Chain A
Amino acid sequence: MEKFNGQVLFLNKADINTDEIIPAKYLTEISKQGIGSHLLEDLELEHFSAPKDIIGKAAIITRSNFGCGSSREHAPWALAANGINLVIAESYARIFRRNIFNCGMLAIELSKEEIDYIFNKYRFLKTDVKADTASMEIILTENQKKEKFAFSISDFDKALVKTGGWVNFAESHY
């Protein structure tokens, strides 16, 4: 199972779509690693500039309906190619969320209030996050101060994270 910890990239916008995560013109690339350098290239957002703000990040915290639009799994692959395997948001588009777990990555939902709180408190601070699928909590760390938030994912999603994704799971079950 992968580890889910590292520095947070805050994307303060709802409805970030998969065209913004990885533009279609790069879908001609067959290798999953090859698209990484174009992650979030078309995202227009205050206080964010790609690729400079992506370097060294391991997780994204964002608003609602993250990953809407196209079904392209190139979106999670582009995240993974940059070392990002954890997303925390108010909600996700269905296909994107499925793709994340299918790749053995982790997509966590927190309430609107919690996401608002986290943005207000941490968005301009160097913040680290750790997600623990055993205790079902995430721990935010800023300047050595820690804060915990509980989350829940289904046993199925947990099993996908544990086995490394849907292909492995399906191979052993069907």
Chain B
Amino acid sequence: MGKTITEKIFDKHIVDNPSDNIQVISLDGVFCHEITTPPAILDLMERGKDRVFDASKIKVVIDHVTPAKDSKTAMQGKILREWVRRHQISDFFDIGQNGVCHALFPEKGFVRPGFTIIMGDSHTCTYGAFGAFAAGVGTTDLEVGILKGVCAFRMPETIKINITGQLPAGVFAKDVILSIIGRLGVNGATNKVIEFDGPLIKAMSMEARMTLCNMAIEAGATCGICNPDMTTIDYLWKFIKDEFINKKAALKAFSALNSDPNAVFATIIEHDITSLTPQVTFGFKPDQIKAVSQMADTPIDQVYIGSCTNGRIEDLRVAADVLKGRRIHKNVRAIVSPATTEIFKEALDEGLIKIFLSAGFCVTNPTCGACLGMSNGVLAEGEVCAATTNRNFNGRMGKGGMVHLMSPATAAASALTGRITNSELFHTFVKIKE
């Protein structure tokens, strides 16, 4: 019987099988940010066990509220900084070099095919884009990860989604994943891994794959995962070039992990996106999805482009392409937050930042802030935000606010009209007018 990529990764990392189908696995990465890590650090100190299992496998960032907005967030940063120094953790990214964790850590080469990674953040599933098993955990799992380098999982079954068709104009990875969450439901993949496969995945960049895997948790999945291929190797080559003779050798090594043709899946879903149109959420759950055309008259107060879902360079390029030479609507305020310092620099070099500023956007430093209503773009009661983020929960970006999730192209087009708008229709409209 064949095995899935997730089963192969588990096989290589098994430490213990304490009961039933619970497996304790060793960890290649324990990633930390300033919101969920300080309580773990304080608990370890209280227990007299202020140790780390392997400082080289712990990667740390301050990203949720940066710069600190008040004394409490300043203290969270302080606890993390002191811990990093105490244990000589060298991969620490503070303000000036930081970024939204799930954009930053892949960019630094910390995520490799076959790795097992945990982080005290539900969108850790993003790293599955590289063929890693990566799962969001709570602070206690993180604490044990830091101390012992292990984590317990119920061995997850895999839902395979075979995505076929070519992306129509104006349709992006975000629209694809919204359509999949709409199909599975917020509970549709709980305790399972979603393996994204098929011709569309093979044609996708790593950035697009990360957007897909990032939102696997919104269907309840433990992890989203893609089988590594030459696109994965190309992205990682600068980090792994000393480990392999050439890219072909790296591909051979990594593709041994890929799911076998006769692997057993819980379900195989065929998902054809040939006639997919831009998608947007309408309620307080990420599986409440409509076509943008059905929501086209919805007025908005704020546009937010950023986050671990859609704050990468490709996202900024797409948005800037819609915004170039235009101004945002007078009733809209718009914010763009490049997800990492490197992305910010790239956007500057490519002239994208100038396009955003000329269009009337506020460009902020990299941070998670607005996405979860902590800082840098909190909504007032009754306000509506067109956002490229991942959660539209009630009050997510501010109590009483409404969040509509969409692609960067749709968000940019919506900034121009003040209403939820299909970027392609906008393009067509302008072309006719011109």
Contact = CB atoms under 8 A, between A and B. Distances in A.
B391 interface: yes
Contacts of B372: 19, 24, 70
A166 B18 CA distance: 12
B391 A30 contact: no
B373 A25 contact: yes
A32 B140 CA distance: 12
Nearest to B378: A25
B140 A102 contact: yes
Contacts of A71: 36, 120-122, 124, 136-138
Contacts of A156: 18-20, 22, 152
B150 interface: yes
B22 to A, nearest CB: 4
A174 B137 contact: no
Interface stretch (A46-54, A61-69, A114-122, A129-137): A61-69
B23 to A, nearest CB: 10
B341 interface: no
15 contacts: A19-B391, A30-B38, A30-B79, A69-B391, A71-B122, A72-B36, A72-B138, A93-B220, A94-B220, A156-B18, A165-B140, A166-B152, A167-B43, A167-B47, A170-B147
Given A154-B20, A154-B22, A159-B18, A29 B72 contact: yes
Contacts of B72: 28-30
Chain A interface size range: 35 or more
Give me the 4 closest cross-chain CB pairs, A-B, nearest first.
Answer: A73-B138, A99-B138, A102-B140, A155-B19
Contact of A42 (B22, B138, B186, B399): B399
B148 interface: yes
B18 A173 contact: yes
Given A32-B39, A156-B18, A98 B137 contact: yes
B369 to A, nearest CB: 10
A166 B141 contact: yes
A72 B285 CA distance: 18
Interface of A: 15, 17, 19-20, 23-25, 27-30, 32, 42, 44, 64-65, 68-73, 76, 91, 93-96, 98-99, 102-103, 154-156, 159, 165-167, 170-171, 173-174
Interface in B25-70: 35-36, 38-39, 42-43, 47, 49, 64-65, 70
Interface string B208-222: 000000000000101
Contacts of A29: 72
Contacts of A103: 140
Given A30-B72, A71-B121, A91-B187, A24 B373 contact: yes
Given A20-B394, A154-B20, A173-B16, A167 B122 contact: no
A75 to B, nearest CB: 8
Contacts of B135: 95
Contacts of B394: 19-20, 42, 44
Given A24-B372, A30-B79, A73 B186 contact: no
B315 interface: no
A19 B395 contact: yes
Contacts of A17: 393
A69 to B, nearest CB: 6
A154 B285 contact: no
A20 B393 CA distance: 8
Residue from the set B22, B144, B399 with the largest chain A CB neighbour count within 10 Å: B144
